[in-house]
Amino acid sequence: MSAVARALTLLRRMDDDGAWRLLRADNAPFALALLAEHLGGEERRVDADELAEAIDSDLDELRSYGHELSLNARGYLTNWRTAGLIARRPTEGARGETYELTIDAIAARRFVEARESPQHAATASRMANLSRQLTQLAIDTDPQAARRLERLRAERDRIDSQIEAIRNGEADDALSGPQALERLHELLSQASEVPDDFTRVRAVFEELSSTLRAKILESDATQRAVLDDVFRGVDLIGDSDAGRSFAAFSGLVLDPALGSAFEEDIRQVLGRDFAGDLTPAQRRRLRGLLDELKLRTAEVHDVITVFARGLRRYVQSQDYQRDRVLRTKLLTALAAAHTASRHIRPYAPVGADLELTSIAISSIGAIRLDDPSEYEAAASVTTHEAAQADWAELRALARETEIDFAELTANVNAALEISAQPSVAEVLRTYPATQGVASIVGLLSLAADFGRSDPTTERLTWTRPDGVASSAEVPTHRFTERIP
């Protein structure tokens, strides 16, 4: 890659890489310090409410030194989550959320720590580890069996000579003092990176799960490899390179024999005199290293299981078919919008209103607690004894609420004895509307069933309960037969 190509690549990464954005931010010192303090120690995953409370306390103290920090803890946590520096995950077995650092934040924190406490690269312990790993790699990868046997025999002779020297008392004193402490610090340095490695592994599996889902959506009839594998029950995540590598690692971590030997070695090392120079935090880190490895391994195992089951369920439930249709419609809409953008501006009115779904947001101050005392009856209940009903009052009440069809029927039949086909107005002139407009409605209803209508109109009059005379012009209705 040429210098120009690399410069352009780095320029693009300045905006895409979360670690780089964090280091370039105006409040980078505060963000790095707060994230390292609360999410970079022994507790790598912290409850959201507890984290916000702790950061708010630190922000108040920083403001007392004159620093301008405009947001509260939750505001900064939201910004950091949007920038991809912290990940929010649901709490297992309870309602709540937790925060943890992402790989970008870990990379930025490692860079700052390396600048604050640079490690001495040319240490004897590091060179010894490098030499030992290189020798083992040369033996394991040698295609010639004879040379491999020769190297193994040489290694065996060296070990036998050391055993013999120890038996004869000719060996040098055991490693101690500064050299032993140097190796122990090298070991602690590597151990401190283990939790961050698990975070990277988890991110790899998350990216792998997203990639497989994308392949399922984008594959057509000629590219059904992923779909066919899922339908056959193949664990694409567990069988991936990352999955096989992690399976081999977890096999070593969970091996009972190796675990017992590991814990015994740690116990013996911490019992040496040179280990007295370690801080309490370093001793806790070394003593709890195996437990942390097992815990992190179990978490990643759960992640792999969840992703594998989710991918299988996604395919077997045919949900991917619905997402394919939605993806096709979105791409078609985007293509149409791109074509339309040449002729119409994006903000030009198109004469159509689209109602968006939303949730009504209101202030928490508008919430009012329910007070049961507000519904408590202050006055005592008065008991009224039942009295004898007055028939006249009941009849009057019925006439106010219902049309008296019995009275109207008698009036119409009486009018038919006087005239052959009396109209509603003629009936009212002989028998006025005692119920006001209710009588008018009742007569018109009876005329519709037992009479006919004429093309002419007539005026109907009645008196309202308040004594006001009223009238209305309606089509003429005549009664032609008696009402039974």
- In this prediction, residue 116 has a pLDDT band, given cuts at 50, 70 and 90, of confident
- The whole-model pTM stands at 0.48
Residues 256 and 251: their CA atoms lie apart, in Å, by: 10
Determine the pLDDT at residue 1.
63
Q: What mean pLDDT is predicted for residues 121-140?
A: 65
Q: What mean pLDDT is predicted for residues 214-232?
A: 61
CA nearest 483: which of 450, 457, 456, 460?
450
Look over the chain and give the mean of its residue pLDDT values, rounded to a whole number.
76
Pairing of strands 469-479, 451-463: antiparallel
C-alpha distances (whole Å) from 225 to each of 76, 248, 315, 383 are 44, 26, 13, 83
- In this prediction, residue 222 has a pLDDT band, given cuts at 50, 70 and 90, of very low
